[in-house]
Amino acid sequence: MPAYAVIGAQWGDEGKGKIIDFLAENAAVIARYSGGNNAGHTVINDAGTFKLHLVPSGICWPHAMNVIGNGVVVDPEVLLKEIGENNLDPTRLAVSDRAHLIMPYHVVLDNLEEARRGNAAIGTTGRGVGPAYVDKVAREGLRVGELLNPEALASRLTEIVSFKNEIITKIYGGDPVDLNDVIALTNKWATELSEYIRPVENLVGDALDNDEKVIVEGAQGALLDMDHGTYPFVTSSNPTVGGTLTGLGMGPRSYGGVAGVFKAYCTRVGAGPFPTEIHGEQGDKIREQAGEFGTTTGRARRIGWFDGVAGRYSARVNGFDAMIITKLDILDGWDEIKICVAYEIDGERTDQFPVDAAKLARVKPIYETIPGWTESTRAITEPEQLNDGARAYIKRLEEVVGVPTKILSTGPRREETLVLEDFLA
Ligand code: IMP
pLDDT at residue 296 in the model: 82
65-68 and 214-217 beta bridge pairing: unpaired
Rounded to an integer, what distance in angstroms lies between the CA atom of residue 68 and that of residue 86?
15
Q: Residue 413 forms beta bridges with which residues?
A: 44
Cβ distance 296 to 269 under 8 Å?
no
pLDDT at residue 403 in the model: 98
- Confidence check: pLDDT of 285 > 90: no
Cβ distance 34 to 72 under 8 Å?
yes
pLDDT at residue 355 in the model: 80
- Confidence check: pLDDT of 1 > 80: no
Mean confidence (pLDDT) of the chain:
96
- Confidence check: pLDDT of 76 > 90: yes
Rounded to an integer, what distance in angstroms lies between the CA atom of residue 279 and that of residue 290?
16
222 annotated among ligand-binding-site residues:
no
% of the chain beyond a pLDDT of 90: 95
Cβ distance 53 to 39 under 8 Å?
yes
Q: Is 341 in the pocket of ligand 1 (CB under 6 A)?
A: no
Which of 41, 100, 106, 228 is an active site residue? 41
User: pLDDT grade, residue 156 (50/70/90)?
Assistant: very high
Cβ within 8 Å of residue 360, ≥6 positions away: 230, 273, 275, 353, 354
Burial (CB < 10 A; 0-12, 13-18, 19+), residue 152, is exposed
Per-residue pLDDT of 3-25, as tens digits, reads: 999 999 999 999 999 999 999 99
Mark whether 13 is an active-site residue: yes
Ligand 1 centre to CA of 91 (Å) is 30
Atom of ligand 1 nearest to the CA of 130: 4
220 annotated among ligand-binding-site residues:
yes
SS3 305: coil
Average pLDDT for 369-391: 97
Ligand 1 centre to CA of 300 (Å) is 13
Cβ distance 4 to 255 under 8 Å?
yes
Per-residue pLDDT of 313-342, as tens digits, reads: 999 999 999 999 999 999 999 999 999 999
- Confidence check: pLDDT of 126 > 90: yes
Domains located in the chain, CATH noted: 3-74+200-419 (3.90.170.10), 100-195 (1.10.300.10)
Q: Is 52 in the pocket of ligand 1 (CB under 6 A)?
A: no
Residues in the chain, total = 425
